[in-house]
Amino acid sequence: MIRVKSLMQQANPVPETAPEEPARPSERRRMRRRGLVLSGSVAALAVAVAAVVTLVTVFGSPGGGSGGRPAEPPAADEPYYVTTGDLERHADVVVRARVVATRETDEDGFAETIATVSVVATGKGKPPGRTIHASYPSPGAALPSGPELTVRHEYVLLLARMDDGKYVLVNTTQGYYGIEAGHAKAGPDNDVALSDGVLKALGLTPLRLTR
C-alpha cells in the first residue's frame, strides 16, 4: 500500500487541495457590517440627490426662468388684519398727517420711499415729534408694492416703530387711508374701517367705510 501511494504521488505531483474552510462567525459578522456600511452610503447618496432635485424643482436653477430668463424672486408676505381691533392694535402710532416730501432710497437693500410728514392730529400713541419720517416699499419697485402718497395731501397713517427707531406702515394696504370730505377712505384692497374713537380723535367723521 505504501508503494502504491508513492507511485500515485509521482504520477500526480499536484498536492490535493484541502476543502475550503467555512467563514467563521466573526468573519461573517464583519462581512455583514461592511455590507451595511455600503448600503448606508448608497442610501445617503440617494437622499442627497433627491434633495438637490427637490431644490432645483422648487426654486429653479440659476437662470432657470421660462425662456432662459432668470427665475423671479418670491413675493414677500405681509400681515393683513381682518378686524379694526387687530389693525389698530398693531400700530404704535396712528396720525393724521400731511405729506411734505418724499425720497427714494435702497439703503436697506430694497427700493423704498421715505415720506416726511407733518402731524396734524393723533389718534393713538405718541408721535416722536411734529414731523415723522415714514418708510414703505416704493410703488412698483418691490413686492408687495407700496402706496403712492402725494405731496401736500393728507392721510391717516398707521405706523409701527422698529427697533432702530424707524417708523414704517403696518402694511402696504392698511397702513394708510386717504382723506376726502372729512372721511377716511381705505385703499382698494382694504375692507377694514377705523374705529369711531380714532376717527374722532383725528377730527374725521366716524361714518361707515367709504371708498
Taking CA atoms, 56 is separated from 3, 36, 47, 66, 179, in Å, by 81, 30, 14, 14, 48
Distance CA 51, CA 146 (A): 36
Among candidates 136, 178, 134, which has minimal Cα distance to 156? Answer: 178
Q: Where are the domains of the chain?
A: 84-201
Per-residue model confidence as pLDDT tens digits over 71-98: 333 345 789 999 999 999 999 999 999 9
Per-residue model confidence as pLDDT tens digits over 185-200: 999 899 999 999 999 9
Distance CA 87, CA 68 (A): 42
Task: Decide if 98 contacts 176 (C-beta within 8 A).
Answer: no
CATH architecture of 84-201: Beta Barrel (2.40)
pLDDT at residue 12, rounded to an integer: 52
Residues of the chain with pLDDT below 70 are 1-76, 141-143, 207-211
State the DSSP H helix or E strand holding residue 156, giving kind and residue range, or none if neither.
strand 154-161
Give the torsion sign (CA, 89, 177, 172, 168). negative
Distance CA 182, CA 139 (A): 26
Distance CA 157, CA 101 (A): 15
Distance CA 170, CA 157 (A): 9
Residue whose grid cell is 367709504: 210
